[in-house]
Amino acid sequence: MNVCFYDFNLAELQSKMIEWGEPVFRAKQIWQFIYKKYYLNPQLWNTLPKELRNRISEEFSFLPVTEIKNIQSEDKQTEKVLFQLQDGKKIEAVLMKYYERNTICISTQAGCAMNCAFCATGQMGFIRNLTAGEIVGQVLFFAEKLKSAEKKITNVVVMGMGEPFHNYENVMKAVDIINDPDGFQFGERRITISTVGIIPMIEKFTKAKRQINLAVSLHAPTSKIRDLIIPANKKYPLEQLIETCRIYTEKTGRRITFEYALINGFNDSPEEAVLLAKLLKGMLCHVNLIPLNNTSKFDQKGSTRERTNDFKMMLDKYGIACSIRLKRGVDIGAGCGQLLTQA
């Protein structure tokens, strides 16, 4: 297989041009053809010599992800795409449309090693990490698709298949590539990375002091409850995770989002809402309440509307900012925790 072009950042592409005996400015020309005009075929780069275009075509791949299936939700607001990678592995990604917003949910791994009880991706097991280029390739796919409708990506959420902080270096390189001011120029504040709570990587992320939004999948107010659905809690206990998150907010001044999947009769009582409020008291945070989406290997159900509203009211009472996530794409298996492919 040819090297994926999108695995290169601009500095690496400049080094490649020098290695080939080409003027260094060619790199920026190529970069802007790709990331500003979305000309993903080198033969369209008409200001470059034909010999260089041919060499690039021969040595690089520009299709790290290939669409093999596309499903739209009944309301046409959500679109799920099944991609095949160059080695035959498969991933899913999602486009969600909210009025003027076009949010994409992209994957960072094929499968996932976290094995969260209610998550279809975790139920697949871990297959492999994606390269930075395979992550960028998903973004470019949707950017090119929206361009044909005269629209743009407004938000990127790294919440698809996989645990992003188990693939930290490739994820951050991909973010740097789409953030590059000479190229795609996608602002960090419009990017959200979600983690189940890999403490060493949150600490590393804190030190980096990036403007990227951080979301943590919490799903329980105590370690006793969290142990039952989040195996990673045994390695990274809730109490330590919360302290790490508190340090993150204090050192960066950025608000953190806690994702909380409400499971009927399991973690959604008013008493558990009080425990959650006390756990998060004083932290710069927001709780995103998500009535659980069904998956085939988890037999419990999402909370009723009444229990969801009662949980939110209790958090409101204790001064914890919170909202209830709108269900999007659940009818096509594109909701939170539902992404699933065959290995």
Q: How would you class 253 by CB atoms within 10 Å of its CB: exposed for 0-12, middle for 13-18, buried for 19 or more?
A: exposed
From the list 79, 92, 163, 272, the catalytic residue is 92
Is 259 among the residues known to form the active site? no
Is 105 among the residues known to form the active site? no
Give first-to-last CA distance, the chain, whole Å.
20
Tokens of residue 53, six digits:
């275009």
Return d(Cα 343, Cα 303) in angstroms, integer: 31
- Backbone φ and ψ of 87, nearest 5°: -90, 10
- For the four alpha carbons of 155, 230, 328 and 125, in that order, the dihedral sign comes to positive
Half-sphere exposure of 176 (CA within 13 A, CB side): 14
Cα Rg of the chain (Å, integer): 21
Tokens of residue 219, six digits:
């799903």
Q: Dump the DSSP string for 45-93.
A: -TTS-HHHHHHHHHHEES-SEEEEEEEE-TTSSEEEEEEEETTS-EEEE
From the list 105, 119, 285, 336, the catalytic residue is 336
- State which H helix or E strand residue 217 sits in: strand 213-217
Return d(Cα 91, Cα 67) in angstroms, integer: 10
Please identify every residue annotated as catalytic: 92, 336
